[in-house]
């Protein structure tokens, strides 16, 4: 068991996970960004876990940690290269670089799962926010998902949010139909 080893690295990662689970998101992201450089390159899940933490950092709008976590994320397997490309584009979204954000997300590999692309675009729109409303709405297209509806709502377009909402209850909550 990794936690029983004298190396504190695994304990620090477990603490980051515990903080996340308790809703201490900012502390969790900071802890993860601190510990990931010390995790062994031989860990088979290093790249995938770093990607998860990078997107968690973006959720907290901690771009610096997200970028730091992308370094070990470069070791993802071939099935996750689209996620790496999406996360790099999402960093541009969080930085407010709308053109790079949109072009990066629109270039996602055709082999990427359609729902993954849709969710990435919704997250990108959310990160761009109302300051880049037109670019954010363009990313959403016509995807009828809860994530797309919420992103449209957060950029200030209630009618688009209601149109993209996949169910009548969400449509009514977001101000439509």
pTM for the complete prediction? 0.91
Closest CA to 91 of 131, 117, 56, 140: 56
What band does 4 get if pLDDT is binned at 50, 70 and 90? low
Q: What is the pLDDT of residues 31-58, one digit of tens each?
A: 999 999 999 999 999 999 999 999 999 9
Under the banding of pLDDT at 50, 70 and 90, the label for residue 110 is confident
Instruction: Kindly report the average pLDDT of the chain as a whole number.
Output: 92
List, in order, residues 6 or more apart from 18 with CB less than 8 Å away.
none
Determine the average pLDDT of the residues in 119-135: 97
pLDDT of residue 5: 64
Burial class (CB in 10 A: 0-12, 13-18, 19+), 54: buried
Q: What is the mean pLDDT of residues 60-74?
A: 94
Angle at CA of residue 21, ends 27 and 30, nearest 5°: 20
* pLDDT given at position 173: 84
How many whole angstroms separate alpha carbon 158 and alpha carbon 163?
Answer: 9
Compute the average pLDDT of residues 61-88: 93
Average pLDDT over residues 68-72: 93
Burial class (CB in 10 A: 0-12, 13-18, 19+), 44: exposed
């Amino acid at each position: 068991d990794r936690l029983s080893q004298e190396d504190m690295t695994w304990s620090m990662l477990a603490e980051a996970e515990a903080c996340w689970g308790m809703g201490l998101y900012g502390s969790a992201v900071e802890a993860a960004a601190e510990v990931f450089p010390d995790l062994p390159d031989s860990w088979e899940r290093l790249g995938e876990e770093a990607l998860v933490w990078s997107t968690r950092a973006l959720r907290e709008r901690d771009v610096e940690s997200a970028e730091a976590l992308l370094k070990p994320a470069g070791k993802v397997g071939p099935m996750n290269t689209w996620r790496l490309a999406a996360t790099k584009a999402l960093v541009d979204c969080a930085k407010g670089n709308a053109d790079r954000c949109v072009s990066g997300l629109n270039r996602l590999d055709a082999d990427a799962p359609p729902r993954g692309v849709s969710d990435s675009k919704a997250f990108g729109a959310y990160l761009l926010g109302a300051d880049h409303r037109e670019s954010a709405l363009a990313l959403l297209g016509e995807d009828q998902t809860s994530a797309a509806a919420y992103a449209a709502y957060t950029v200030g377009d209630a009618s688009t949010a209601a149109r993209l909402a996949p169910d009548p209850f969400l449509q009514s909550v977001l101000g439509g139909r």
